[in-house]
Structure 1
Amino acid sequence: ATLSPTWGIYSGYELAEHTPLRAGSEEYLDSEKYQLKTRDWDSDDSLAPLITQLNTIRRRHPALQRLRDIRFHATDNAEVIAYSKRAGDDTVLVVVNLDPHHTQEATVSLDMPQLGLEWHESLSVHDELTGETYRWGNDNYVRLEPGRAPAHVFQVRRSAPQIGGSPE
């Protein structure tokens, strides 16, 4: 929902309907191709609130509305991907757990010049999904848990130089 400026999902997917028609099939068992199905859109398991939140974040950030200027950042775990996108003064950093079943931990190594920063600078990152703010530098620890916090969508801000303490 943040890698590409356009995205979509098949109806029912937000309710975790993804059982294949048969083994190896790309068609779904409960596809509307074969039936009209009544769905409980207010289900507690629905991804609809998260999808709404992601769409709100996408509208707020011009960087997420463009395909250009995407930069990938190194992680020490193949199940975690990190990338940033910039448009003018708007910089967004996204870190995602690619494993839908297991908690993943990683160190994210930022390419600071790709974020418009010098290697020695620190930055304030505000998670648009949780509202939490962190102070990051070159190497940063993340723990991403499916069902609770599978990703971070950070708004990046250059940290003002501090004398003692941290800005957050």
Structure 2
Amino acid sequence: MKIKFVLLFLSCVVLANCGDDNNTNDVKITENKEQNAPITAKTIEGIDYKDYVLSPESEKAIVTWERYHELAMQINYLKKADFSFFNGEKELLKKFIEEFKTQMPKELATNHITSRNAIIETTLLKLNESLTLDNISRKDKLKGIKEVFIAFSNLNYMINEKLESDVYGKIQPEK
């Protein structure tokens, strides 16, 4: 008797699950279309992060740091979905990173800023890899772009903090 009840229950479950599988196929097709869609400037605009800009004092401190200005310009191009700098030759990117580190002004050569430079190096190389390989998903490419934006923004923040602490460190209390 129990066996008949179990068989009846299982057949009801099987019949209930039999049906039209078009819904799952539609979801998969939509996901594939979204994954294969090109990354546009509008897509990049939707990336959420805190964007720090340099203070006027910081602008004066980095005026001779040519590679910083070039990186800032390339990041602005990246915001417009121009990947030419970031998906180019890896050796050229490595050379750029070396020059970026060596041209850094001496007054900014602190541990905090040097570590931010290392993070920028890592994120640039990671983005280069994800943009040049075909089997990397769109989601991972967008994540790499966001990481570059965050790393550059944090470098700006650290430069501002360093120069601000220098100014406040020179202020003497009145006697």
Q: State TM-score, norm by structure 1.
A: 0.31
Greater strand content: 1
Ranked by relative contact order (alpha carbons within 8 Å, sequence separation 6 or more), the top structure is: 2
Q: State TM-score, norm by structure 2.
A: 0.30
Greater helix content: 2
* Structure exhibiting the larger radius of gyration computed from Cα positions: 2
